[in-house]
Amino acid sequence: MSRRSPSGDTAAVRLEAELRTAITRGDLRPGDLVPTTAELAANYGVNKNTASKVVAGLKDAGILTGPAGGRTRVRVQPRQVTRSNDRYHEEKARVLLPEVERASYGAAEADTGQSVRDLHDDLYRYEVVSGPADVRAILGIAADGDVLRRTYTRRHAVGAGVSMSISYLSYDLVSQNPDLLEARREPWPGGTMHQLYTVGIELGRIDDHITASMPTPEEQRQFDIPTGVPMLRIRKISYGTDGQAVEVADIPLSAERTELIYRTPLERW
């Protein structure tokens, strides 16, 4: 990469085109370090401010990534996430299937089409905690009660941003089946709906409350989100057929890579 470019805006356009071509051609692959600003300036005959401007623009476009003041890499492109409320009907239908069929399909497949077996990271952390006050209120947990907090962290490829969800269940409820307290049993065939089924709970309703806000600095780093992209935040509340809330799940999603589809069948007149 050693081609002279004219100065000014034309130089920035030329440098951006060169970097995009290098990435498309595979000279720079996802996860590779990009030359420093000083190296880009020397290689392309532009000034450091122009090189810095181009790198910042490609970061904003989601082509490059890296912390301010740190090394820049070619971004590992995220997988598109599509969430439809149809999934909840499908998940409930799978609860009564044999284990081998329940195990063949889960949240990873539903969200991205990628098999859980192909994920680079698939991590689970289970903790018995007192839980946030708002969660306790939704679940109707007494002051001296606990929740089982389950944190799910996934990464589809080396160097990619994570996807994450945090689930809260009443400890008194799930402790009726000791297997439900063991993270080592994840991924559970049939997911949370089947787990609840093992303690006598049939889900009758799920409410998704969706808000949006900007990511925290830690979320921007962890999820690998370009500057200016907001987070969609789903609070999913699952209710038993008696109307009692039995699970609260918080699901943060980068708006850049998320499509939410809600279908509402309408009764005929």
- 152-203 pLDDT per residue, tens: 999 999 999 999 999 999 999 999 999 999 999 999 999 999 999 999 999 9
pLDDT at residue 2, rounded to an integer? 38
Residue 39 has pLDDT above 60, yes or no: yes
Q: Could you tell me the fold of the domain covering 81-261?
A: Chorismate lyase (3.40.1410)
Tokens of 95: 């609860």
The b/e string for 75-86 (b: 16+ C-beta within 10 A; e otherwise) is bbebbebebeee
- Spell out the domain ranges in the chain: 9-74, 81-261
pLDDT at residue 220, rounded to an integer? 94
Band of residue 117 on the pLDDT scale cut at 50, 70, 90:
confident
Average pLDDT of the residues in 13-27: 94
Residue 6 has pLDDT above 90, yes or no: no
The residue among 78, 98, 94 whose CA lies nearest residue 86 is 94
Average pLDDT of the residues in 88-92: 93
Q: Could you tell me the fold of the domain covering 9-74?
A: Arc Repressor Mutant, subunit A (1.10.10)
For the chain, helix (H) and strand (E) counts, in that order, are: 10, 10
Q: What is the pTM of this model?
A: 0.89
242 vs 121, residue with greater confidence: 242
